[in-house]
Structure 1
Amino acid sequence: MLHYALVFLVVAIIAAVLGFGGIAGAAAGIAKILFIVFLILAVISFLRRNS
């Protein structure tokens, strides 16, 4: 999950540098959502492992 978030972040940065604002914004939004999902799953996994 974190891997895909980083991939979309790189795509967003490259698209922004090349001037594709719409694609960059969409990719950044997807990266943000994937990172939040990763954090939630990581916390749940951590709590379940230690209880």
Structure 2
Amino acid sequence: AGIRAKVEHPFRILKRQFGYTKTRYRGLMKNTAQITTLFALGNLWMARRALRKA
């Protein structure tokens, strides 16, 4: 359960912070680019406290 919780956290951030609840069918390249960008933003969101201290 602990591993699953760690994996589910980035998806929760995408849904709650960035509003990505429904997939829009735009083409594989555009969907891949959007989800990659959102995960990169999600990583920055999770590391925001550490980035402020630096």
Query: What's the TM-score, normalizing by structure 1?
Result: 0.49
